[in-house]
Amino acid sequence: MVFHTILRFLHIIFFAAWFGSVLASLFFLKAVESKLTGNDGNHTEFAALLKRFIKLETKVADVAVIGVILSGILLAVFYHGWTIWVFVKSLLIVLQIALTIGYIIHSVRTLTYPCSKSEYGNWYRLFGISLTMFALVLIVTFFLL
């Protein structure tokens, strides 16, 4: 019973870290938007700062995603079983990762700074995808599992 509680705790902590890293990135991008879409000349400095931040955020998010997946597998194997809703939740997480990576490769990596506000909107669409998928996972977890 203690192992189950620890696994659930870790699963929730990893999910919260993943969600928190996404929100932190969203807030950071909003804070530097005017510097990366304007013509004030110091955009290279802010672009470098953004690149460094995203690199660090990605490390946190990667550890959190791996933690969510591993703790989720352990919970399914030892306690919950492989029910249809566990598969649905797993598929939603895989879909979230695929959509996020696909959108980054297609629309975000190609950005150069300074860029227009409409081009910078690609960042917000990326977070729209991530936050929508988080909401779907939470709905499945809390209302269907």
What's the pLDDT at 134?
94
Give the C-alpha separation, 43 to 35, whole Å.
6
Give the C-alpha separation, 35 to 32, whole Å.
5
Residue 145 pLDDT greater than 70, yes or no? no
Give the C-alpha separation, 137 to 96, whole Å.
9
Nearest to 54 by CA among 72, 39, 32, 76: 32
What's the pLDDT at 66?
97
8 Å CB contact between 67 and 17? yes
Tokens of 43: 């955009």
> pLDDT of 4-28, one tens digit each?
999 999 999 999 999 999 999 999 9
What's the pLDDT at 42?
83
Nearest to 10 by CA among 67, 65, 57: 67
Residue 1 confidence class, pLDDT cut points 50, 70, 90: confident
Torsion of CA 8, 14, 16, 22, to 10 degrees: -160
> pLDDT of 85-96, one tens digit each?
889 989 999 999
Residue 53 pLDDT greater than 70, yes or no? yes
What is the number of structural domains in the chain? Answer: 1
Mean pLDDT of the chain: 93
Nearest to 22 by CA among 55, 49, 58: 58
Domain with 34 in it: 2-144
